[in-house]
Amino acid sequence: MKIVTIGILFMLLTASFISARIGGSDITFEVKDRGDVHFSHDDHVASIGLKCTDCHDSLFVSKEKHKKVTMVQMQKGQSCGACHNGKKAFDVKTNCNHCHKR
């Protein structure tokens, strides 16, 4: 009986560590004229401390389900521009090279 109990506790502990990992991976948005944008979940979640729900499902659903992101949308405070507005995080209007890498 002790072995079964220890086994169940081990499985629960392992499952909690697995589910605690940061979801998502790095995403590359291909931008022909300005240079691609590489989005890092680690930078936003682990380094800055955002929760998944800060962006999902309000700003983004998933890469597959999300419509194309444009600079015009961001400058109006949509998608990335909701935070990257110069108040919460650097401004998308004046910091192009921070995201667009050639």
Cβ neighbors of 31 (< 8 A, separation 6 or more) are 37, 100
Q: What value does the mean pLDDT of the chain take?
A: 78
User: Quick one: CA dihedral 39, 77, 48, 95, positive or negative?
Assistant: positive
Asked if residue 6 has pLDDT above 90, the reply is: no
- Distance CA(41)–CA(63), nearest Å, equals 12
Spell out the domain ranges in the chain: 23-101
pTM beyond 0.75: no
**CATH code for the domain defined by 23-101:** 3.90.10.10
The string of pLDDT tens digits covering residues 36-55 is 998 888 888 888 888 888 88
The string of pLDDT tens digits covering residues 72-99 is 989 999 889 999 999 999 999 888 888 9
